[in-house]
Structure 1
């Protein structure tokens, strides 16, 4: 990705169909052991004034010593107790950026995800993982306009998995884009997404991950129905989810999940609960990421 900040996207991208990767290339394929993501390759006065000066100097010296003692004690205390919030925050941010390298697939993308109250009307949901994409760069992983918008943060690694619901009626791809950006750059991108409502634009939808021989085999660009994009500021990660029907039907008017889950929404994706699929599963995968970061940065007792 180019490092320059993009101009506002103009015009819709082409809707090229996504290639269907071989599931044999998935992290979890061909091994009974838990799969791992491990692909990785910094101012005097006269005579009479002197006694007063001496007294004042002595008092000032005493205050200085006392002050230094208090400051030193506070600093020492912070070192001993680990209360330096900035250092801890920076450590967590740095740790988050390396999780793609050696974290078990099942920890970031569990085989089964429970969504208590995540469905329409507060119904429970259960999602089952049916495909895990080989980790990759970002070439061809996003539509051109989304690729351009994400360019300022760079692409370190992209991890993706696709899930289906309990009835295998819906399919949802979740992705974690690990960027090369520092906290300031991630905050700038998050601000742009919020202020320009980029997460509501259908020409900035993420692409799905389809896999042969699964319920998501026909889940291509034309089948995208609803989506979420979340730019994290406490980690160099962009998390997203995109949902559609498992029967391969095309969608003429995709709807952002935030709109599809609103009460009274009447679009087909909303009525089918696809907004809940994308939002519910996306939220839980993002939560898993933060839990993993927290565990990785915990100090031993």
Structure 2
């Protein structure tokens, strides 16, 4: 029964029979056959199928919500037994912001998996806030000021942010000397990132405006800054190598990003934390810490 439920959940989450089949190594015909068999057993139509679109019926949506809860409970039970029996084992599904995951999670997976070879890690990189329960995700890396309700947060590292621009941009437009000078400069930010929250000498300040170029990608903002299109507020974990190499320069250093933003590992609240989740949090904490390696490299560069 768990296999049927997993198949149905994959179809809904991936949006098509073919995509679910690829994830589970099944042909689209076999997926269709099993879904039809499930509908026959339940005596209800779960999906509306057309050549272009797949959607849940009202019964299908209610069934999906229950199926997600059942699969989560089943996975928790398996992880509990695995944790009691010995080393962490089974699936560990992780989501992280695109840039951070690529730069500071993926490169550190090998030593973690070498230590815990019974784990099967799935890493999903997305700048969207994933619903961990609905998406059956065990752990998320979040760069934020707070952890939303229903989740348990573990602070992994501070998130230092600086205003920066390329030498070419500063040569063409000049460097802002005061905060109010930003009003005559080109600002670069992804959707939802403005206004900027900064920390001034006398407390928090806010800088509003409109991005010179509209984008939904934080990675694109970095590339635009490197190309000389404007001033951006970026995390040092993202632009550390560019600052050290001089491809970007910090501006208005007395106004860093708000200090309340940190890097968290979060997981659904509950009495039981899977061993794989606990071990991965410990792995990242040991890697990052109060002064993460990307900031130590910057300090070393500044002192040399």
TM-score normalised to structure 2 length? 0.26
Is the strand fraction higher in 1 or 2?
Answer: 2
TM-score normalised to structure 1 length? 0.26
